[in-house]
Every structure is written in C-alpha cells, then in structure tokens.
C-alpha cells in the first residue's frame, strides 16, 4: 500500500511537470485543486500538534527524560543549521554568483510591508495570552508551548489525570488516521501544485539568475546528500537511502507545498509508519523542528545575502560573514514554516551587514522554485534529527 502511494506520487510529479509545460497559463485552473490539498493539510495541523505533543510528552514518562530529549534536539538543530550555513558560505565564496550581476536600484520589494520578527515579538509569539485565539489563528508556536506545558502538567498529576491522558492518546490516533486519508489525495494535490508551478516558470528569469540558483541548489544538495546522511549514518545508524525512501512522501509534499508546516502531518506519518520511530520522539522533535529548524532556509539566506553583496560590490570580510552566519541562524529560526517566509526574514540579515534591502528584489523572481528546494531540505533535516534523537534516546 505504502509503495503504491510512493509510485503514484512520483507519477504525479512527472505528470504535473508535463501538464504544466503543455498547458502553459491554462494550468492556472488547477490551482484550486492544489489549494484544496494544502487547506486539508493545514486543517489538521493545529489539532494534530496539540494531540500528538501532549501524548508525546506524557509518553516520555519523566521530566528528566523530556529535558534530555529537549537538550539533544536543540543541540542537533543548532549544529546542523550552522553546518548548512557554512556549506552555503563556502560555495558562494568559491562560485561568486553575484559578481557581474546587475544590482537593482528601484524598489520592487517593500520591507515596510513585510516586517521581520524581532526577539521580543518572537517571545510574545511563543507565549500565548489566549490559547484558543492562537489555535483559531493557526499559530503553531504558542500551540507547541501550551501542549508542552499541558503534557508536563499531566505527567505531574499522573493517576488523577489518567482519563485525560487516555483521551489525548485516542485523539492522537484519530488525527493520524485523518492524515492517512488526506495522504491518499496527495497524488492529485501534488500533480496540481507542480503543474501550476511549472506553468509559471519564466525562462528569462531563470537564465539571468542561473548561477545564483545553482549555488543555492548545490549548497542544499551538499547539505542534504552528504552532511545530513553522514550524521544519520553515524548517530542514527540508519541507511540514508532507505530512510530517504521512507520519507519520500513527506519530501515530495514539502517540495510541492512550499511549507514545512503543511507537510508536518505527512512527515509524522512517514516517520512513525514507515521508519518506525517512536511517537514520543516524533511528536516532540517534528512540530518544533518544522517551526524552528530550517537548515535549507538558513543556507539559502546566507547565499542570497552574499549574492546581493557581490552584486552591489560590497566586500564581505570574514567578520561580516560571521555576522551573516549568526543572523541567518536567527532569521531561519524566526521564519514561519510557510511559503516565502525565508525571503522576509532575510531582512534581518541584510540589515545586520548594512546591505540595501532593495537587493531582495533581485532574487524575487526565482524565489518560488528555491523555496520548494529549501523547504524539502528543511523537512529532511527535521526527519534526520528525529531519527538521531530516537537512537540517542534508545541508549538511555
Ligand atoms: N517555506 C519554508 C518552509 O516552510 C520557509 C522558507 O521560506 O524558507 O520551510
């Protein structure tokens, strides 16, 4: 059954590319199909995170274990994000895609319309004043925060809270079933999303920015196909190819939806059903990972900012590049797990090294396609993290 969905999704991607190419702008009529698929996925994100995180925290069994898993998870996020940025910076310095590119002087991108998050606003975003409002608005971070606290409180109360614990376990199983059903529609949704994307590709933009795109894609490829698999092999003792196959549906969903959040239900399903990771790990690592751990976005932001600096002829010293690395880490953490979020938080990095914000206008045209690639790497990074943390947890 699983294999069948794999094959269907692969065919959907190929058929989507062909249809988008043949239909040209008429492919826009397929937009509604893709949108409905994304809406279905989004529909279950909040209840899924709520159910799965509460029952996940409870199944860790003790505060100590929860704390250890948390510390390992955040260490993994930080190390892999820094590794991704390093790969990006090395490549962008070697390839230098921005040298000779035309810097943009007119303002196509207005930063005032896209205010990037500040540290205070991120903190306010994490701690909800009203959890029901946060849920209604689909805000993931406060829901994660509340679910963690609720799970911990259930652990604290234990026996008296038994009925509530049983409820959350059942609720969680039901949400996974719903995800399973929605996944059966994935071939149709993926087909429509890819067809619309292909029909909108503009050859001129791609040629003009080919070197920049290749640098980002090469960086993402090195991180996803070399760095993360090495970590997976060493720390999770898993075969990267097999794990890739197990995560395939989630990776294609990430590629076609541009959103780690929308992909979350599918990633959780792949990890639990195909890779057989314990739920107490996936339910903790994945929702937080989808929201804060974005290796692809961090790498992309570092490369894009260096590209803009090169195009404007501004030299970036080693110290400047360290600032880029630090702020790109923050910007990737602050980026929401939705399409184009990385493009907006890049303002933080540009400001930190005093580069013109108009520079973002130079790369807007090809952002969609790079967003697909970086979102796939974001999800792959979260998945590898879940496998590694699960292995480390086994040893304890
Ligand atoms: N679309 C990305 C994600 O959801 C975020 C970004 O724009 O880089 O992971």
pLDDT on residue 105:
60
Report pLDDT digits (tens) over 170-218. Answer: 999 999 899 889 988 989 999 999 999 889 888 887 888 899 999 999 9
Distance CA 379, CA 372 (A): 11
Report pLDDT digits (tens) over 302-311. Answer: 999 999 999 9
- Ligand 1 mutation pick, 216, 224, 337, max ligand atoms within 8 A of CB: 337
Q: Is the CB of 338 under 6 A from ligand 1?
A: yes
Q: Cα(166) to centroid of ligand 1, in Å?
A: 35
122 — pLDDT class (breaks 50, 70, 90): confident
Cβ(316)–Cβ(353) below 8 Å: yes
Distance CA 256, CA 194 (A): 6
Atom from ligand 1 closest to the CA of residue 344: 7
Mean of all residue pLDDT scores within the chain: 90
Q: Is the pLDDT of residue 118 over 80?
A: no
Q: Is 97 exposed, middle or buried (0-12, 13-18, 19+ CB in 10 A)?
A: buried
Q: Is the CB of 375 under 6 A from ligand 1?
A: yes
Q: Is the CB of 371 under 6 A from ligand 1?
A: yes
Distance CA 382, CA 289 (A): 5
165 — pLDDT class (breaks 50, 70, 90): very high
Atom from ligand 1 closest to the CA of residue 297: 8
Q: Cα(220) to centroid of ligand 1, in Å?
A: 13
Q: Cα(207) to centroid of ligand 1, in Å?
A: 24
Report pLDDT digits (tens) over 244-303. Answer: 999 999 999 999 999 999 999 999 999 999 999 998 899 889 999 999 999 999 999 999
Report yes or no on whether pTM surpasses 0.85. Answer: yes
- Ligand 1 mutation pick, 260, 286, 367, max ligand atoms within 8 A of CB: 260
Atom from ligand 1 closest to the CA of residue 378: 9
pLDDT on residue 189:
93
Q: Is the pLDDT of residue 3 over 60?
A: no
DSSP string for residues in 183-235: HHTHHHHHHHHHHHHHHH--HHHHHHTHHHHHHHHHHHHHIIIIIHHHHIIII
pLDDT on residue 325:
96
Atom from ligand 1 closest to the CA of residue 290: 9
Domains and CATH numbers, the chain: 5-394 (1.10.3860.10)
Residue with CA at minimum distance from ligand 1 atom 8: 342
314 — pLDDT class (breaks 50, 70, 90): very high
Q: Is the CB of 259 under 6 A from ligand 1?
A: yes
What percent of the chain shows pLDDT beyond 90?
65
Report pLDDT digits (tens) over 60-111. Answer: 877 788 889 999 999 999 999 999 999 999 999 999 998 888 776 655 555 5
Q: Is the pLDDT of residue 315 over 60?
A: yes
Q: Is the CB of 378 under 6 A from ligand 1?
A: yes
Atom from ligand 1 closest to the CA of residue 336: 5
What average pLDDT score do residues 40-45 get? Answer: 91
For residues 1 and 265, which has the higher predicted lDDT (pLDDT)? 265
Lowest mean pLDDT across 9-18, 62-71, 365-374 = 62-71
């Amino acid at each position: 059954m699983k294999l069948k969905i794999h094959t269907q999704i692969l065919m959907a991607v190929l058929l989507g590319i062909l249809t988008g190419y043949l239909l040209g702008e008429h492919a826009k009529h397929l937009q509604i199909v893709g949108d409905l698929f994304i809406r279905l996925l989004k529909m279950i994100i909040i209840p899924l995170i709520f159910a799965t995180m509460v029952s996940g925290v409870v199944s860790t069994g003790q505060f100590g274990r929860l704390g250890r898993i948390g510390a390992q998870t955040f260490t993994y996020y930080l190390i892999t994000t820094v590794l991704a940025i390093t790969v990006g910076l090395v490549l962008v310095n070697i390839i230098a895609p921005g040298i000779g590119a035309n810097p943009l002087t007119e303002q196509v991108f207005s930063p005032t319309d896209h205010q990037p998050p500040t540290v205070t606003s991120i903190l306010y975003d994490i701690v909800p004043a009203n959890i029901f409002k946060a849920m209604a608005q689909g805000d993931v971070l406060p829901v994660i925060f509340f679910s963690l606290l609720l799970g911990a409180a259930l652990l604290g109360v234990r026996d008296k809270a038994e009925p509530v614990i049983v409820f959350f376990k059942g609720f969680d199983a039901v949400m996974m079933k719903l995800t399973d059903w929605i996944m059966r529609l994935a071939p149709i949704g993926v087909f429509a999303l890819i067809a619309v994307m292909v029909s909108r590709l503009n050859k001129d933009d791609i040629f003009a920015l080919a070197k920049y795109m290749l640098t980002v894609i090469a960086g993402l490829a090195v991180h996803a196909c070399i760095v993360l698999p090495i970590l997976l092999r060493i720390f999770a003792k898993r075969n990267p190819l097999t794990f890739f196959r197990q995560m395939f549906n989630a990776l294609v969903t990430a590629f076609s939806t541009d959103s780690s959040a929308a992909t979350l239900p599918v990633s959780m399903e792949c990890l639990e059903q195909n890779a057989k990771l314990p739920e107490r790990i996936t339910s903790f690592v994945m929702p937080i990972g989808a929201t804060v751990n974005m290796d692809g976005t961090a790498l992309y932001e570092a490369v894009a900012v260096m590209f803009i600096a090169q195009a404007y002829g501004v030299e970036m010293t080693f110290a400047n590049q360290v600032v880029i690395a630090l702020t790109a880490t923050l910007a990737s953490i602050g980026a929401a797990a939705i399409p184009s979020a990385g493009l907006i938080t890049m303002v933080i990095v540009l400001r930190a090294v005093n580069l013109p914000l108009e520079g973002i206008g130079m790369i807007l045209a090809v952002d969609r396609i790079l967003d697909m690639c970086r979102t796939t790497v974001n999800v792959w990074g979260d998945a590898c993290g879940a496998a590694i943390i699960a292995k480390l947890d086994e040893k304890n």
